[in-house]
């Protein structure tokens, strides 16, 4: 496409994420949508360059600081971003030779008014390219680009060896996981239809509704997605209704439901029952409603409600309450790579207080003999096992039926599920 400079778009996108605090998954999607007319391979290049640079930021900064007298922190934001993108390409992409990569970023610096620093950009990038592979990353924080406090926390929780396994899991590649609407089509039939469009499909062995897809252009261009025959939903998230043993005539409440994947899944399994899907803001509720409309679910209702506020009318009303609560999100770093730089130990402690408050409130909606399902997309004991221990000590009427901690690998993200039965 004449006149479109992919590296310049990547640079502007990374500046928005790393310098201006935009959320990577939301902002990058908007950029890819905006440039939807680009070739599939061009959008793939852009996606990889932006995500990879954000994901490996700490390691890239370490490499740059090892070769540059001016440290990354002291650089102007645009130059810092140009350097990070250049080093990511040199280390992790082979679309063009390193010398051409260096030239592209020198040209970019000049074009954006930094001609005086183009020699610096050129010198450092060429030096890094010559010495590539000689630097050793002994430190787990640098090797896996993970803030030190998180490495320390997980090492204390799980030991150093397991922590390295977790960190490596985040950097492994992952195909898009979808949940097939089994009420409308079988996995095999959907798979055949997608393969005819050149989409690669892998059927998941362990979750009956899950498949993995790759080599597609965009979801919006897949007719089966628009018809509501499948839904984008993580493997771990699909486990929640199965772990809670949702059955056909149950009444279910999902208290923090947006964008609605679990609620819709519950609606399919409890096809003779009713599902109420709630969330805090109007925007989140409209997201749930949009997905209800697209999939044609007749037994799922979206409502706006603050989960920390007791709803008197819901007390002892539901067979199952799904509480997939706000959390640090440190289990889904692969999908939201900037999340690891934005969380702090303080924000973690605030989240555990919020989780506790919601659990204390929503457990009252469970009927006697009913089930409370607690889940998070994180792998911190303070938000998971310790939270459950704390809850059970003050709610003797509940006991644990099952508890699962998933760690990131090629099949799924980090995720925690605990199912508790009310006596």
CATH number of 174-232: 3.30.70.1170
User: What pTM was computed for the model?
Assistant: 0.93
Question: What's the confidence (pLDDT) of residue 236?
Answer: 94
Report whether the peptide linkage leading into residue 120 is cis, meaning its omega lies within 30 degrees of zero.
Answer: no
HSE-CB at 207 with a 13 A cutoff on CA atoms is: 23
With a CB cutoff of 8 Å and minimum separation 6, the contacts of 130 are none
Mean pLDDT of 130-154: 96
Select 6-135's CATH number: 1.10.940.10, 1.10.3720.10, 3.40.50.2000, 3.30.70.100: 1.10.940.10
Question: What's the confidence (pLDDT) of residue 133?
Answer: 86
pLDDT band at 70 (very low <50, low <70, confident <90, very high): very high
Question: What's the confidence (pLDDT) of residue 410?
Answer: 87
Question: What's the confidence (pLDDT) of residue 218?
Answer: 85
Question: What's the confidence (pLDDT) of residue 177?
Answer: 96
Whether residue 39 has pLDDT greater than 70: yes
Length of the chain: 423
Question: What's the confidence (pLDDT) of residue 220?
Answer: 87
Question: What's the confidence (pLDDT) of residue 347?
Answer: 93
Domain with CATH 1.10.940.10 in the chain: 6-135
Active site residues: 377
Place of tokens 């502007």: 12
Task: Compute the distance between CA of residue 242 and CA of residue 246 in angstroms, rounded to an integer.
Answer: 6
pLDDT in tens, 168-204: 999 998 899 999 999 899 999 999 999 999 999 999 9
Choose among 55, 51, 324, 328: nearest CA to 167.
55
Q: Which CATH architecture has domain 234-422?
A: 3-Layer(aba) Sandwich (3.40)
pLDDT band at 28 (very low <50, low <70, confident <90, very high): very high
Cβ contacts of 137-142, under 8 Å, gap ≥ 24: 137/59, 137/62, 140/164, 140/167, 141/58, 142/58, 142/59, 142/62
């Amino acid at each position: 496409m004449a006149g479109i400079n992919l590296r310049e778009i990547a640079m502007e996108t990374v500046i928005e994420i790393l310098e201006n605090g935009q959320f990577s998954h939301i902002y990058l999607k908007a950029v890819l949508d905006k440039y939807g007319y680009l070739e599939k391979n061009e959008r793939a290049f852009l996606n990889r360059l932006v995500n990879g640079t954000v994901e490996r930021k700490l390691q890239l900064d370490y490499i740059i600081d090892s070769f540059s007298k001016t440290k990354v922190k002291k650089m102007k934001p645009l130059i810092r971003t140009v350097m990070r993108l250049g080093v990511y390409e040199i280390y992790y992409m082979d679309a063009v030779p390193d010398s051409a990569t260096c030239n592209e970023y020198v040209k970019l610096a000049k074009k954006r008014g930094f001609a005086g620093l183009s020699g610096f950009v050129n010198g450092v990038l060429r030096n890094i390219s010559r010495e590539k592979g000689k630097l050793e990353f002994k430190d787990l924080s640098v090797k896996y680009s993970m803030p030190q406090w998180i490495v320390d926390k997980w090492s204390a929780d799980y030991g150093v060896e397991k922590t390295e396994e977790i960190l490596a899991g985040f950097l492994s590649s992952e195909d898009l996981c979808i949940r097939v609407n089994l009420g409308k089509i079988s996995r095999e039939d959907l798979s055949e239809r997608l393969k005819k469009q050149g989409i690669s499909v892998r059927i998941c062995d362990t979750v009956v509704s899950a498949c993995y897809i790759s080599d597609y252009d965009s979801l919006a261009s897949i007719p089966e997605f628009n018809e509501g025959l499948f839904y984008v939903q993580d493997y771990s998230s699909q486990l929640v209704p199965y772990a809670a043993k949702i059955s056909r005539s149950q009444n279910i409440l999902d208290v923090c439901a947006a964008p609605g994947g679990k609620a819709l899944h519950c609606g399919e399994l409890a096809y003779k029952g009713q599902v109420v899907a709630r969330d805090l803001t109007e925007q989140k509720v409209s997201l749930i409603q949009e997905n209800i409309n697209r999939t044609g679910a007749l037994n799922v209702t979206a409502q706006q409600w603050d989960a920390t506020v007791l709803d008197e009318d819901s007390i002892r009303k539901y067979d199952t309450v799904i509480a997939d609560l706000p959390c640090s999100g440190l289990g889904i770093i692969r999908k939201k790579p900037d999340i690891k730089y934005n969380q702090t130990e303080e924000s973690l402690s605030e989240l555990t207080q919020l989780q506790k408050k919601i659990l204390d409130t929503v457990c009252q909606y469970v009927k006697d003999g009913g089930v409370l399902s607690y889940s998070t997309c994180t792998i911190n004991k303070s938000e998971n096992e310790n939270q459950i221990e704390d809850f059970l000590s003050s709610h003797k009427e509940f006991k644990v039926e099952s508890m699962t901690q998933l760690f990131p690998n090629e099949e799924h993200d980090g995720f925690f599920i605990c199912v508790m039965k009310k006596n």
